[in-house]
Structure 1
Amino acid sequence: METKEQAVSSVGERIKKSVAEALSRLKIEGVTFVLEHPDSLIHGDYFTNAAMAAAKKIHKSPRDLAEKIVAEMRDNCPEEIEKIEIAGAGFINFSLSSKFFADSIENILSHSDSFGRGDSLSGQKIMVEYTDPNIFKPFHIGHLMSNAIGESISRIIQFQGADIIRACYPSDVGLHIAKAVWGYLKNEKNAPLLNDSLGKKVEFLGDAYVSGSEAYEKSEQSKKEIDSLNEKIFEKGDEKINSIYDNGKKWSTEHFEEIYECLGTKFDVFIYESEVAEKGKRITNELVEKSVFEKSEGAIIFNGEKFGLHKRVFVTSRGLPTYEAKELGLNLKKFEMFPDITSSMIITGNEQNDYFKVLIKALSLINEKIGNSTRHIGHGMMRFASGKMSSRTGNVITAEKLISEIQKLVMQKIEGRKIPVEKKKAISQSVAVGAIKYSILRQSTGSDICFDQSKSVSFEGDSGPYLQYSYARADSVMRNAEARKISLSTKVPAGWRVTDLEKTLYRFPEEVLRASAENEPHHVTTYLIDLAGIFNGWYAREKIIDADDGNAGYRLALAKSFMAVMKNGLFLLGIQSPTEM
């Protein structure tokens, strides 16, 4: 016998199956139709275009066919359906029963921590690579975007039963390192001391990189010196250069760890660029003879033009592996380290989309399984009034600075509240991170973001803090009820009219499944913002805590269910759920 949990989670599938069976009884086969939630709850809980899709195929009136489908379904539809109506030119609307919604509330409360989990990816091991900062350079908002998206996608697909390996590929060799080391050497007399703060050390590295980057563009002599340094760093034959490099890498890595902790990310594996450079170079050289790569003017290239792509250099004419060769080594090493992974996802800015098409094609020619199992997801850019940020000119907005600025705005909002100072600091950081992450995740992954600082910290409307505030408000309701000794009850009061809150809460698992299938966290953010609006509207209209009201216990059940769904949803976005704001 089907449990309440199974009935609630499968109701959409059951309705769709019932519609298909009705069409079959009408001798109409092979029709593709959708079953979705309507934009407005006044049109029911689900609707289908089955009659319109089928009518087009058999050249009949959609509305007439809808009536026949409904007639076929009346005695054969799932018991959760309370009402079926025909609307417009032939849409069929379904309204669920009050018993279904009562069961859904029980289901949420009995599985509060796991509500929304699924098994669509059960048995799969998926590596997700994201963030990928550069040592000696600031952790900028591009890295912050990759981190927010990668962490959220990791949590969402893990919620669907996948075994997740979080991977980070920090760049610790290359021209940017040489530029920073050059800048370090030119200003060595002002280099930080061992007992200086980590912040001072990281700031010095950032300034050194800017100095070297500018010199590389403006001076031919400096360019030659930096190119020479690049080779020395790669060869590791100069003790002084090695010492500067080791210190800089240590400072950068420690700084990045502080940021990861703030963002709520814990990587399972770090694979550094230096670890795969020689491997990538060796493989590239070996595969010249097998025609995967070819020589061109002393360099080794992949001729992507043969596949409708573009050419990329993998080994330079000076014998140095490019980022492409290193990336090749990296992706082959991933499957050596974890031979049982079923897929590997790489999340970077979408300016690398074409680059990854070439790389994945090269991978597929070397190892078809690895190539077919590797996917790149390109995200948009975060833009401000001044346009796209850049770390080459020093006009860089670091993740640390952005979080700090947003945290100040949050502190201003909660300044007058009776909360201990240390707790205010913790709340303000949590809300600041939530504000930034929500702004990144609220729209499709590939879209650019125009970040508005003041809107991002609004406690009303389309923002992360609004979701967190809604959760804190519900928690306050539950604490007040406990203080007044009013108990929660899942028993539906006599004469109860199903609310929009109940009609929305049960949909959460569907949205998580959709977000997982499409690797798009914005499905979760859209759902949560709608849910928060419905909860706050209900909160404003209803007197939830009233010891003399027989409905109070069930209202508390709804508030508690809202908390469970909101907490799980915020978790999937990598956002904390504060109980005070």
Structure 2
Amino acid sequence: MIKQQVRNALATIINHENIVLLAPKNEDHGDYAIHSKSLGQDITPEAFTHELFGRIEKTGEFINFSVSQSVLWKEIETILENKELYGQNDNLKGKKIIVEFAHPNTHKLFHIGHLRNISLGESLSRLLSASGAKIIRANYQGDVGLHIAKCLYGILKREDEMKTLKTLDEKIAFLGSTYTQGNVAYEENTQAKDEINIINRQIFDKDPKIKALWQETRSWSLEYYDKMYKRLGTKFDRLFFESEVTDTGLAITKKAVEQELLEKSDRAVIFNGGKYGVDTRVFINSLGLPTYEAKELGLGELEFSEFGEIDKCIHIVTHEQSSFFKVVFKVQELLNEKKYKGKQLHFSYEFVDLKGEKMSSRTGNIVTGEWLLDEIKTRVKKIFATEETGAEVVAVSAAKYAFLKVDAKRKIVFDINESISIHGNSGPYLLYTFARIQSILKKNSSSVMPNSFRHLEIPALSAGRLKQVQDDNKEELSLLRTLFKFPEVVESAAEKMAPHLIATYLFDLAQKFNKLYESTPILKAKDEERARLLSLIAATAQVIKNGLYLLGIETLDSI
């Protein structure tokens, strides 16, 4: 990575170990900067002469450095040679990390919030993997509990209708409808509430009277979710379910009572979190049933035993569960400090709304993930002349990018039209840019190899033979000076667990390419200049492809 080379060179020149490299706000000032006062010595720009650096100048209290063009062109060669491996590092080599995400509860619809969750989870998995970690994708799903009881209550009221269902779509719509029916009944009808509580107990006790119905309808949900995972390009290494961790969680909770880590309160069991600076929460309710907190203890036992020693387990869950995780992590730490302390992380994210829509699970007014993708695809087909497969790729890119370009801690109001614009910060804009480069490269060669640059017949690059880019060719120079930053962005995005940094970089890169495209007739340039430009844009396409992969987005050679 060039940044590290720069840091090493500066450390040698000024004999200073703790050098903080800054990024100038104006790229015209250079690629990196250091604050001269932080060095504790007055050094002039002339002292920084090194083969890595081109222009060096002092602006106020800052010394600005521009990486030499010979180094940057060598990096273009590296990009073209390394292809899909460019940007990867080994910062997390040897680490084993569980990324737990998705979390759709059975018997409920897969909604727009799940799309954001999966987009984040898959992107984080790829970012951490690109840093050398072994990633285990896990998915914890609620398949028991009061929400299941509400749905089964509604089904039992409409058993004849259930017998007429044939397709998976019909079955899923039926589950959504019966859940809403049961939910409203639970809140408004005392008798219905009592019946639902009885069903909830039957589910917990695995009562034969309800088990068969629970299993059948549960299988509908799992088939439906699997369909969505495939559509979104995600595959899990392990599916965990509440039903399989309930007994273990209950046993661990009772043992914690014996160890006086948890305590009885009336007929319930609680964790008195005040003395530890966290909230007090219930682990076994007054009916003797384990709560989500107790079940999470059972989940942790499985996650930290099935895959050997785990370095980190990342739970991707909305911000509203912050208190829940603080309490559970503290209890787990008290139960087994060696196994759990410092190894659990709650990655929180904000909610999603659809522009112009007010959502409510209580009334059944839910924007499903499937509907959103289908609606985007319908609009994509009206804009792009593409076949079904291509429209699907564009639609998924539009949705994922719209979620990932925003900091996870910010709420999103999803705008479908904005997500598919090819003139703004969108997934389709990046796909269109990639396809535009592919078109130029194909016109330069009679041998077309999709998603590959091996057909590009360009002489080997060398600073001595290739004409240097003149400073007044701003578009070309700007693109050249942006490409080599990609490994830095990947490293930063992984360290900060911030996929939006990749999205921000890619949009900036695509804009710079398109400015070059509009100002420079690449294929009409003379041989040497043409070879240089083709190398530059081929590297740009490779970096766009690599970056989109980290966001979980496929590319298309043509749109």
TM-score, L = length of structure 1:
0.90
Displacement of 1:385 after TM fit? Answer: 4.1
Query: Separation in 1 of the partners of 2:225 and 2:320?
Result: 23
Partner Cα separation in structure 1 for residue 215 and residue 86 of structure 2:
46
| Residue 7 of structure 2 corresponds to residue 12 of structure 1 | no
CA contact (8 A) 2:283 2:293 kept: yes
Quick one: which of 51, 55, 72 aligns to 1:83? 55
Match of 1:70 in 2: 45
Q: Deviations over 1:36-57 (max 9, x none)?
A: 33233211111122x13346xx
SS for the counterpart of 2:524 is: coil
Are the counterparts in 2 of residues 383 and 449 from structure 1 also a CA contact under 8 Å?
yes
Give distance in 2, aligned partners of 1:192 and 1:351. Answer: 39
For 1:386 and 1:499, how far apart are their aligned partners in 2?
43
1:71 Cα deviation (Å)? 4.1
In the alignment, structure 1 residue 166 sits paired with structure 2 residue 137 = yes
Q: State the superposition RMSD in angstroms.
A: 1.9
Tell whether 2:459 aligns with 1:473.
Answer: no
Could you tell which deviates more after superposition, 176-185 or 478-487?
478-487
Out of 506, 517, 534, the residue aligned to residue 512 of structure 2 is 534
Q: Alpha carbons of 1:308 and 1:392: their partners in 2 closer, same or farther (altered >3 Å)?
A: same
DSSP-derived class of the 1:275 partner? helix
One-letter amino acid of the structure 2 residue matched with residue 82 of structure 1: G
- Partners of 1:505 and 1:286 lie apart in 2 by 56
Closer, same or farther: CA 388–104 of 1 in aligned 2, 3 Å: farther
Structure 1 residues 493 and 192, CA gap change in structure 2 (3 angstroms):
farther
Pick from 361, 366, 374 the counterpart of residue 396 of structure 1.
366
The 5 Å alignment of 1:80-229 reads 80-87=52-59, 89-193=60-164, 196-229=166-199
AA at the equivalent of 2:189: S
Q: 1:382 aligns with which of 346, 352, 361?
A: 352
Partners of 2:12 and 2:109 in 1: how far apart? Answer: 59
Measure, in 1, the Cα distance between the counterparts of 2:363 and 2:283. 27
How far 1:490 sits from its partner (Å)?
A: 4.1
Q: CA deviation at 1:333?
A: 1.1
Query: Per the alignment, in what secondary structure is the counterpart of residue 126 of structure 1?
Result: strand
* Aligned-partner Cα distance in 2 for 1:71–1:501: 27
> Which position in structure 2 is the counterpart of 1:259?
228
Q: Secondary structure, in 3 states, of the residue corresponding to 2:98?
A: strand
Aligned to 1:291: 260
Change (3 A) 1:388 1:448: farther
**Structure 1, residues 143-183: CA drift from partner, whole Å, max 9, x if none?**
11110001000000001110100000111000000000001
Q: How far apart are the structure 2 equivalents of 1:385 and 1:12?
A: 41
In structure 2, relative to structure 1, the CA distance for the partners of 1:69 and 1:291 (3 Å cut) is farther
Inter-partner Cα distance in structure 2 for 1:43 and 1:389: 48
Aligned to 1:343: 312
Given that 1:128 and 1:345 are in contact with CA atoms closer than 8 Å, whether structure 2 keeps it comes out as yes
Alpha-carbon distance in 2 for matches of 1:438, 1:574: 9
Worse overlay, 95-104 or 497-506: 497-506
Q: Counterpart amino acid of 1:250?
A: S
Looking at structure 1, the residues matched to 62 and 409 of structure 2 have their Cα atoms a distance apart, in angstroms, of 33
- After superposition, the C-alpha distances for 1:15-69 in whole angstroms (9 at most, x for unaligned) are 3344445554xxxx78x652133233211111122x13346xxxxxxxxx55x25
2:215 matched to 1:246? yes
Deviations 1:334-370 (A, max 9, x none): 1111122211110011111121111111111111131
| Partner in structure 1 of residue 37 of structure 2 | 52
Match of 2:341 among 365, 371, 374: 371
Taking a change above 3 Å as real, the CA distance of residues 98 and 23 of structure 1, as seen in their structure-2 partners, is closer
- CA separation in 2, counterparts of 1:454 and 1:394? 25
- The alignment status of 1:34 with 2:20, answered yes or no, reads yes
The residue identity in structure 2 corresponding to 1:265 is T
- Report the CA distance shift for 1:21/1:131 in structure 2 as closer, same or farther (over 3 A): same
Q: Match of 1:108, SS?
A: helix
Q: What is the aligned partner in structure 2 of residue 521 from structure 1? A: 499
Unpaired runs of at least 5, structure 2: 448-454, 471-475
Shift of residue 390, structure 1, vs aligned partner: 3.0
- The Cα offsets for residues 184-226 of structure 1, whole Å up to 9 and x where unpaired, read as 01111111546x1100011101101000001001011111100
Structure 1 position 435 matched with structure 2 position 398: yes
d(CA) in 1 for partners of 2:456, 2:258: 78
Q: Provide the residue aligned with 2:467 in structure 1.
A: 494
Partner of 1:61: none
Alpha-carbon offset, residue 545 of structure 1: 1.4
Match of 2:321 among 347, 352, 369: 352
Q: Are residues 1:322 and 2:291 paired? A: yes
- Spell out, residue by residue over 1:470-490, the C-alpha distance to the aligned partner (whole angstroms, 9 max, x if none): 111111111111139983334
Are the counterparts in 2 of residues 304 and 311 from structure 1 also a CA contact under 8 Å?
Answer: yes
* Equivalent-residue separation in structure 2 for 1:429 and 1:261 (angstroms): 12
Equivalent residue letter for 1:70? P
TM-score, length basis structure 2? 0.93
Counterpart residue number, 1:4: none
Query: Is the partner of 2:281 in helix, strand or coil?
Result: strand
Alignment deviations for residues 107-141 of structure 1 (CA, whole Å, 9 cap, x no partner): 00000110011000000010100001100000111
* CA distances 1:270-311 after superposition (whole Å, capped 9, x unpaired): 111100001001110111021111001100111112212111
The answer to which of 441-450 and 512-521 deviates more is 441-450
1:426 to 389, 401, 411: 389
Question: Which residue is 1:573 aligned to?
Answer: 551
CA distance in 2, matches of 1:291, 1:486: 70
Identity of matched residues, %: 39
Q: Partner residue of 1:58?
A: none
What is the alpha-carbon distance in structure 2 between the residues aligned to residue 13 and residue 469 of structure 1?
33
Greater CA deviation, 130-139 or 14-23? 14-23
Alignment partner of 1:274 is 2:243: yes
